[in-house]
Amino acid sequence: MPDALRVIAEWNQLSSLALALRKLTIDEPMAPPSAQLPLHHPALSTLIYSIVLTALLAPIAIRAYIRRTSL
């Protein structure tokens, strides 16, 4: 895999979620030593991704809901 594509894949939220689930079920290290930070701490990075996405998207969703329901 090209280096640029590998970095994007390693910082992908779904990659860290899948690795976190594997690590919780199999309980052995899965990431190679040269991997990026999210693959070394997949559960923590998945939690951080979830919090950040909720903090960014919840106000937008609430504003859209209020605009559509208040006539």
- Quick check: 24 and 43 in contact, CB under 8 A? yes
What pLDDT is stored for residue 23 in this prediction? 82
Length of the chain: 71
The angle at the Cα of 55, spanning 30 to 8, to the nearest 5 degrees, equals 35
Tell me the pTM: 0.69
pLDDT in tens, 28-70: 767 777 778 787 888 888 899 999 999 999 999 999 999 999 8
Predicted confidence band at 9 (pLDDT cuts at 50, 70, 90)? confident
The torsion angle over the Cα atoms of residues 13, 14, 17 and 19, rounded to 10 degrees, is -110
